[in-house]
A and B are shown apart, each in its own frame.
Chain A
Amino acid sequence: MHDVINHLINTVFGLGWPGWAISLIAYLLIATILFMIVPFQMLFLTYFERRAIARMQDRVGPNRVGPEGIFQPVADGVKMFTKEDIVPDAADKWVHLIGPGIVVAPTMFMFAVLPWGPGMVPFDMNIGLLFFFAISSVSAVGLMASGWASNNKFALLGAMRAVAQMVSYEIPAVLSLLAIVLVTGSLSIVDLITFQSGLFISSSDVPGIPDFGLGWFVFTPVGFLAFIAFFIAALAEGERTPFDIPEADSEIVAGYMTEYSGMKFGLFYLAQYVLNFLLCAITAIIFFGGWQGPGVGWLYAQAITPANPAGNGLFNVLAGVLGVFYFLAKTYFFFFVMVWVRGAYARLRIDQLMDFGWKLLIPLTLVNVVSAAIWVGLTKWGAADGLAFVEGWAPLMRWAVAFVITLVMNLVAYFFLVRVYSQSQDERARLDDEVLERLTNVA
C-alpha cells in the first residue's frame, strides 16, 4: 500500500511528499477500507446464520426482504437506528453509554494485524498474535462496565458470567497458541502463514517439499490437538451456543445487554458477530494456513515484492484475489461449523463449563506444549543445542520421528485425561445424588 501511494503521489503527480506523510495516508486509507468491510461482514454473517440455522431446524428463515431475504440485515439495521434509546433511571448514565463502545473498539483493533492475502496485512507487528489476544481481553472490561451500569440483576449476572467465562477460556486458547508459536519460533501472524507452505508437511520442517500451500499445522499431531482445543475455547470466547450462558435467554433475559435498546444494543450485536468472524479467521490463519492454498505461492513468486522488485503487478492482483478467496472460504467454513454446533448442542451448565475448561482443556493443552517442544527439538535442533544424535538423520526422517512421538504422546494424554475427567464427572454425579438423598431422606 505504501509503495502504491508513494508511486501515485511522488512519481505521477511529482509532489515530493516525505515518507511519513505517505505512511500516514496509506494507514488512513487502509483503516477506512477495513471500517467499510467490517459492517458488511457482520450483515452477511447474521443473514447467513439465520438462514443456516433455519435449514437445520426445518424452517425457511428470513425470506421476505429482497430476493431470498438478502436485505433482511439492512432492514434490521434501519429498525435499530430508528428505535428509541432507553436509559434506565437508576442506571449510571456515563458508564452505560461508554460500555458498548469499550466492547466494540477492541474487535476493530484486532483487524490491524489480520492478514487477508499474500502481502495484504494492515500492519505486520512482530508480536501480532499476542496483540490480537491482548486486545481481545479488553472487551471484558466493557462487558463488566455495561452490566454493572445497567443496575439490573440480570445484567450484572450476565456480565459476571461473561467475564468469568472469558477469563477462564483465555488460558487454553493462549496455551494452544503457545504450542504453535514454539513450533514456528515467531509471534508474527505473517510468519505463521508463510511457515505453512508445503504439501501436508511444512516445507520449513523438510526442505524440498513441493509448495502447494498445504503445509498446514492441522496436519501435525501438535497442531491438530491445539486446533481442537483452540476452537472450543473460541466458541467460549465468542459466546457461541454450547457456551452461551452469559446471555442465556431462558435464565437471565439477555445477560449484560438486557437494559440496552436501539443502536447501543446493535453495537453489542456488531461486536459479537465481528468477534466471531475474527475468531474464525484466526483459526483459519493459525491452523489452516490463512491465504495459503494451491497456486497462491506460485502466483506470489511472480509478483512485485521486496524480495522480487522486478515482478509483474498483474500477479500481485491475481495472488491477492486467490489468497483472499482461500482465506474467506476457510473463515466462512468455520463460521458454518459454529452455526452447526449451535444447531446440534444444548447449552452447558456453568459448573460443566468451568470443569471442562479447567480440568480437561488446560491439562490437554499443557501436554501439547510439551510435545511441541519435543517436535522443535527433533526437527530443528542439532549438536549445538545438545541434541547431537539427530544431527545425522535426514530431514524427512527427523520429521517422521517427531510426528510419531508427538502423536503417541498426544493420544495417550487425550485418552488418559478423558478417562480421568469422565470418572470425576461420574463421581460428582454420585456425590450430588448422595446430597440429594441426605437432604430429602428419600433413597
Chain B
Amino acid sequence: MRSDRVGVLRLPYHYAPTTGGELMDLLIQIIFGLISALVIGAAMMVVTMRNVIHSALWLIASFFGVAALYLLMEAEFIAVVQVLVYVGAISILILFAIMLTRSNEGDRLFTTYWWTSGLIALGLFGAVLVPTLAGTIWNLPQPTGPAGAPEVLSGVEELGRGFVSEFVLHFEIAGVLLTVALIGAIVIAFEERSRRRRVLTLAEELELRKRQQASEHSAVAAADSVD
C-alpha cells in the first residue's frame, strides 16, 4: 500500500530467533536465488519454445515462481491471488484460446521488417528499465533483526479497505469494464437457437421416428373411419 515499501525485499524476521539468524538469512537468499532462476528460466523457455502449448506450460511455471517470490516476501494474499487468477484462470484461458484456434505450429512468421518491431520492443522495454535501474538505491543496509514488533501488513483487510475508500473509483471502473467485456462476449458469441444448424441426436431421431409412425398410424385410422 505504501510507496516506501515498493522494491524492498522484506525478509521474514518473524521466525528468525536471536541465534542462527545469519544461517536463516543465507537460507532465504538461496531460496530467493533458486526461485528467481526458475522465473527467469521459465520466461526464457516461453519465448524460445517452438510448440505453443509448451510455451503456455512454461508460462504457468513462471507464474508459479512469481507466486513463490510473493510468498517469500510474506505477501500471502498477493501470492494466493496470483495463483488463483494467473494459474487458475488466465493460463486456462490461454490454453483454451490456443486449442480452439487454428494451429500454425512450426511456421516462423518473419517478415523482412522484423527488426523494426524488435527495436520498438527493445526501446519500450528500455524506457521502463533504465529509470528503474537508475532510481533504485542498490546499497540498502541489511536489516539486522527484529527492531520492535514487525509491522503487520494484513493484506486482505488493508486491500479491502483500500478498495472501498481510497481506490473506489479505480475499483468501480475495473468492475464496469469487466462487465462490459462479459456482455460483449455474450453478444458476439450469441446465436439464436432457432437459427442454429445442427445434426439430430440419436434421441431426437428416435423421437422423430416415433412421430412419423404415429402420424402414419393416425392417417390409417382416419382412412379406416372414413370407410
Contacts and interface: CB of A to CB of B under 8 A. Distances in A.
Contacts, number: 97
B83 A19 contact: no
A376 to B, nearest CB: 14
Given A133-B84, A163-B92, A439-B200, A126 B212 contact: no
B32 interface: no
A137 B84 contact: yes
B102 interface: no
Interface in B113-145: none
A306 interface: no
**Chain A interface residue count: which class?**
35 or more
A17 to B, nearest CB: 8
A436 B60 contact: no
A443 B212 CA distance: 9
B99 interface: yes
B101 to A, nearest CB: 14
Contacts of A408: none
A21 to B, nearest CB: 7
A34 interface: no
A127 to B, nearest CB: 5
Nearest to A181: B156
A131 B88 CA distance: 12
A428 to B, nearest CB: 8
A120 B58 CA distance: 37
**Chain B interface residue count: which class?**
35 or more
A95 B81 CA distance: 26
Contact of A442 (B16, B51, B193, B211): B211
B70 interface: no
Contacts of A21: 20
B84 A130 contact: yes
A167 B89 contact: yes
Contact of B204 (A20, A133, A436): A436
A125 interface: yes
Given A19-B15, A127-B77, A140 B99 contact: no
Interface of A: 18-21, 23, 92, 95, 125-127, 130-131, 133-135, 137-138, 140-141, 144-145, 148, 156, 160, 163, 167, 170, 187, 428, 431-432, 434-436, 438-440, 442-443
Q: Which 10 A-B pairs have the closest CB atoms?
A: A137-B88, A18-B20, A134-B84, A19-B17, A134-B83, A134-B80, A18-B19, A130-B80, A144-B95, A131-B80
20 contacts: A18-B17, A20-B17, A20-B24, A21-B20, A92-B51, A92-B53, A95-B57, A126-B154, A130-B77, A131-B76, A134-B81, A137-B88, A141-B57, A141-B87, A141-B92, A160-B96, A160-B99, A432-B193, A436-B207, A438-B194
Interface of B: 15-17, 19-20, 23-24, 51, 53-54, 57, 60, 76-77, 80-81, 83-84, 87-89, 91-92, 95-96, 99, 154-156, 193-194, 196, 198, 200, 204, 207-208, 211-212, 215
Given A138-B88, A436-B207, 18 more contacts: A18-B19, A18-B20, A19-B17, A19-B20, A20-B23, A23-B15, A126-B156, A127-B77, A130-B77, A137-B84, A141-B87, A148-B95, A160-B99, A167-B89, A428-B193, A434-B194, A438-B194, A442-B208
